[in-house]
Amino acid sequence: KPKDHGRGKQIEGVLKAGEKVVVIDDLISTGGSVLNAVAAVNKAGAEVIGVVSVFTYQLPAADKNFAAAGLNYYSVTNYPTLVNVAKENGLISEAHLSSLNEWRQDPAAWSAKH
């Protein structure tokens, strides 16, 4: 959707038909919002060759959605790394680790139980 800040555009800057584009996002959960941005770029006549994010939860839904879109995505860091670093630094217990991993496999089911 168009941004609530800046000029209120969905695509900022100059985009010419035929250009190759990498879409950058801060966070990928299911991939829905960034894939909407990909669709807007494609509609403007450019070709999205990939997506990059700062962080991803690596949810199975994101893998499924990106596969359906025929796109790869890459992230600087991810949920398993965050959880492992927190564990190594004594910030989470083994019990919490199990719960966090369970959440990542199926957030909706986990939320329904908690």
Residue 95 and residue 4: Cα distance in Å, rounded?
A: 40
pLDDT band at 3 (very low <50, low <70, confident <90, very high): low
8 A C-beta contact, residue 29 and residue 64: no
Summary mean pLDDT of the chain: 89
Q: What is the pTM of this model?
A: 0.80
Burial call 32-47: b when 16+ CB within 10 Å, e when fewer: eebbebbebbeeeebe
Residue 107 and residue 59: Cα distance in Å, rounded?
A: 8
Q: Report all structural domains of the chain as residue ranges with CATH numbers, in order of start.
A: 20-113 (3.40.50.2020)
